[in-house]
Amino acid sequence: MSQETTLILFKPDAVSKALVGQVLARFEGAGLKIRGIKMLQFGDALLREHYAHIASKPFFPDVQNFMQKTPVIALALAGENVVARVRELLGPTDSKKAAKGTIRGDLGVDVMVNVCHASDSLETAAAELKRFFRDGELFQY
């Protein structure tokens, strides 16, 4: 199986509660490799682009306010079957339904305050990686 790359966004709850190192250690402990990492503040345009699938929903302003509370950390992770492996490590989107031992089950609160966003497919990952990383910002080693 070939190396694949996915996108993770450490959400404001992970940043403000100083959970980034702990979560990153879980990803690395599972054998996943960092290809790129950066901190950024979501502007309105980038937020609407990234969340285009829900931007017209009535709850979007709540998502927008939450995601702009603090900077976020974008992480490109590589490994075999990386999308599925990351999603397994994270647990379901709704932290209340996530099993203990998963990242969201241990550290998340609910469906929005759930530590990380993760790409849901390789196709989505490719688009999301281009959104957050420019040419030359992803590394192989």
pLDDT tens string 85-125: 999 999 999 999 999 999 999 999 999 999 999 999 999 99
Residue-wise pLDDT for 42-90, tens only, equals 999 999 999 999 999 999 999 999 999 999 999 999 999 999 999 999 9
For tokens 């345009």, name the residue.
45
pTM of the model: 0.95
Helices assigned H by DSSP within the chain = 12-16, 20-29, 44-50, 60-67, 82-90, 103-107, 122-132
Q: How far apart are CA 44 and CA 99, in angstroms?
A: 33
Per-residue pLDDT, 141: 82
Q: Which CATH superfamily is domain 3-132 in?
A: Nucleoside diphosphate kinase-like domain (3.30.70.141)
Helix axes 20-29, 82-90, angle to 10 degrees: 130
Q: Which of 11, 85, 104, 117 is catalytic?
A: 117
Structure tokens at 50: 């990234």
Residue-wise pLDDT for 6-41, tens only, equals 999 999 999 999 999 999 999 999 999 999 999 999
Per-residue pLDDT, 42: 97
Beta-sheet strand order (sheet of 72-80): 33-40, 72-80, 3-10, 116-118
Q: How far apart are CA 80 and CA 83, in angstroms?
A: 9
Q: Is the pLDDT of residue 1 over 80?
A: no
**Is 117 designated active site?**
yes
Q: In a 10 Å sphere around its CB, with 0-12 CB exposed, 13-18 middle and 19+ buried, how is residue 99 labelled?
A: exposed
Whole-angstrom CA distances from 54 to 62, 92, 110 are: 11, 18, 17
Cβ pair 132, 40 in contact under 8 A: yes
